[in-house]
């Protein structure tokens, strides 16, 4: 709705990501960021939790910055019904009058939040890589890659409230847990909000055959600088020796050198490992948005002007087919010493 019809006194809302009945870690990331935004505005953080009934209360959210948790439990929330969840979140927004609403850019967030934005008549910026408060206007600055990842756009919502955005998991760090007071409220909702035409016939978790690279401490990624798909054999071997996983740039995935689950970047996965190695990747904006929060970035590229070097902690300028085999040889040698 237009700002003239709302006051935004309800602070910052975060819509929690619930998987298999548990609060997912991306919710803690976003709650930590919400705390930072709320502090700069002198306001509060409320986390909205929609889930099936459970024995435990989500009090761990207070450790990461929440002041209040709005807990809605109903057996009908066990599976995703986007319209039902959107109606509930929209009702809580109408009652709570938040200034900002955030959600992870997951399957749930991308499905539910657009419907919420339509119901409360405001805008939504998807897949943000940066959030901050404008010192002069107090508006939420929502930054995301645009035009195919070639530029970074900063978007404002000056005329409507709430300001809404989704954020890719692993974009922001989780704040160190800190004891703080908080309250859990269980809102009473109209039964009509739960009306649904969706019938869930089955709900299964399909296991993949490879580890999710978002969960790893080390990710080694290859780009078109490999020149041929067989080059990923070197990337896999280096990743194996480092107990890490294999990532890939968008061009290599589009060329079908690697499968989509390995793609790092705004159009793939955002990773934040302890060590990220980029071999033969120039550093397009959309790729940098997917890995620049890694603790240590090691870039290997023969072009000294490659954009990847601007964010690298260690820059190795040279032919990856010379550098990577030498790294593998050195790691093999060190491993051999450990087993002697």
Cα distance between residue 18 and residue 26, in whole Å: 10
Name the pLDDT band for 267 (thresholds 50, 70, 90).
confident
Whether 262 is in a domain gets the answer yes
Q: Assess whether 333 and 249 both reside in one domain.
A: yes
Ligand-binding annotation for 284, yes or no, is yes
Ligand-binding annotation for 286, yes or no, is yes
pTM for the model stands at 0.79
Ligand-binding annotation for 38, yes or no, is no
CATH number for the domain spanning 300: value is 3.40.50.1220
Ligand-binding annotation for 339, yes or no, is no
Instruction: Report the pLDDT averaged over residues 284-310.
Output: 93
Q: Assess whether 171 and 299 both reside in one domain.
A: no
Q: What is the pLDDT of residues 59-82, one digit of tens each?
A: 999 999 999 999 999 998 888 889
Q: Are 65 and 175 in contact (CB under 8 A)?
A: yes
What's the pLDDT at 5? 62
Ligand-binding annotation for 287, yes or no, is yes
Question: Which whole-number Å values give the CA distances from 270 to 94, 171, 293, in the listed order?
Answer: 32, 7, 9
Ligand-binding annotation for 265, yes or no, is yes
pLDDT of 316 > 80? The answer is yes
Q: Assess whether 12 and 144 both reside in one domain.
A: yes
Name the pLDDT band for 335 (thresholds 50, 70, 90).
confident
Q: Assess whether 132 and 70 both reside in one domain.
A: yes
Cα distance between residue 105 and residue 108, in whole Å: 8
Q: Assess whether 93 and 222 both reside in one domain.
A: no
Ligand-binding annotation for 222, yes or no, is no
Whether 200 is in a domain gets the answer no
CATH number for the domain spanning 73: value is 3.40.50.620
Whether 201 is in a domain gets the answer no
> Long-range contact list for 131-139, CB < 8 A, 24+ apart?
131/33, 131/37, 131/102, 131/165, 131/167, 131/172, 132/37, 133/37, 133/40, 133/41, 138/41, 139/163
Task: Choose one of 166, 194, 222: the last residue of a domain.
Answer: 194
3-state secondary structure of 263: strand
Whether 199 is in a domain gets the answer no
Q: Assess whether 106 and 155 both reside in one domain.
A: yes
Whether 87 is in a domain gets the answer yes
Q: Is residue 176 packed enough to be buried (19+ CB in 10 Å), middle (13-18) or exposed (0-12)?
A: exposed
Q: Assess whether 161 and 188 both reside in one domain.
A: yes
Ligand-binding annotation for 278, yes or no, is no
pLDDT of 209 > 80? The answer is no
Q: Assess whether 234 and 165 both reside in one domain.
A: no
What's the pLDDT at 55? 85
Cα distance between residue 300 and residue 306, in whole Å: 10
Q: Assess whether 230 and 290 both reside in one domain.
A: yes
Q: In sequence order, which residues have a C-beta less than 8 Å from that of residue 134 and are 6 or more positions away?
A: 140, 141, 156
**Residue 41 phi/psi, 5° resolution?**
-105, -5
The first and second tokens of residue 180, run together, are: 């703080």
Name the pLDDT band for 91 (thresholds 50, 70, 90).
very high
What's the pLDDT at 147? 74
Ligand-binding annotation for 236, yes or no, is no
Q: Are 177 and 64 in contact (CB under 8 A)?
A: yes
Task: Choose one of 134, 165, 194: the last residue of a domain.
Answer: 194
Ligand-binding annotation for 331, yes or no, is no
Ligand-binding annotation for 280, yes or no, is yes
**Residue 7 phi/psi, 5° resolution?**
-115, -20
Ligand-binding annotation for 292, yes or no, is no
Range of the domain at 335: 213-339
Q: Assess whether 282 and 310 both reside in one domain.
A: yes
Domain count, the chain: 2
Average pLDDT, the chain: 91
Whether 239 is in a domain gets the answer yes
Q: Assess whether 236 and 156 both reside in one domain.
A: no
Q: Are 186 and 73 in contact (CB under 8 A)?
A: yes
Q: Assess whether 280 and 171 both reside in one domain.
A: no
Task: Choose one of 147, 167, 194: the last residue of a domain.
Answer: 194
Ligand-binding annotation for 212, yes or no, is no
Whether 318 is in a domain gets the answer yes
Q: Scanning the structure block, which residue is given the tokens 């072009």?
A: 303
Whether 206 is in a domain gets the answer no
């Amino acid at each position: 709705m237009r700002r003239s019809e709302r006051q935004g006194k309800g602070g910052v809302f975060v819509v929690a990501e619930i998987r298999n009945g548990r609060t997912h870690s991306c919710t803690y990331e976003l709650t930590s960021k919400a705390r930072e935004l709320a502090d700069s505005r002198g306001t509060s953080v409320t986390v909205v939790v929609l889930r099936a009934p459970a024995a435990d209360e989500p009090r761990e959210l207070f450790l990461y910055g929440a002041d209040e948790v709005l807990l809605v439990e109903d057996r009908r929330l066990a599976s995703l019904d986007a319209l039902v969840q959107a109606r509930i979140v929209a009702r809580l927004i109408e009652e709570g009058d938040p200034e900002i609403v955030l959600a992870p850019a997951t399957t749930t967030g991308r499905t539910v939040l657009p419907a919420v934005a339509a119901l409360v008549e405001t805008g939504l910026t998807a897949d943000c890589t940066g959030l901050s408060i404008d010192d002069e206007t107090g508006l939420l600055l929502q930054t995301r890659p645009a035009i195919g990842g070639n530029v970074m756009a900063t978007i404002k919502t000056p005329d409507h409230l709430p300001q809404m955005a989704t954020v890719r998991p692993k974009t922001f760090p989780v704040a160190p847990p800190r004891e703080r007071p908080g309250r859990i409220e269980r809102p009473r909702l109209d039964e009509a909000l739960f009306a649904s035409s969706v019938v869930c016939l089955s709900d299964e978790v399909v296991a993949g055959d490879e580890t999710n690279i978002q969960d790893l401490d080390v990710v080694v990624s290859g780009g078109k600088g490999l020149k041929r798909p067989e080059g990923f054999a070197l990337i896999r071997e280096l990743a194996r020796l480092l107990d890490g996983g294999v990532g890939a740039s968008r061009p290599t995935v589009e060329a079908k050198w690697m499968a989509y689950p390995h793609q790092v970047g705004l159009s793939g996965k955002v990773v934040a490992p302890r060590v990220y190695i980029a071999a033969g990747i120039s550093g397009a904006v959309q790729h940098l948005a997917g890995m620049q929060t890694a603790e240590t970035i090691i870039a290997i590229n023969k072009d000294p002007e490659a954009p990847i070097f601007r964010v690298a902690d260690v820059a190795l300028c040279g032919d990856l087919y010379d550098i990577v085999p030498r790294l593998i040889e050195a790691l093999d040698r060190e491993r051999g010493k450990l087993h002697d």
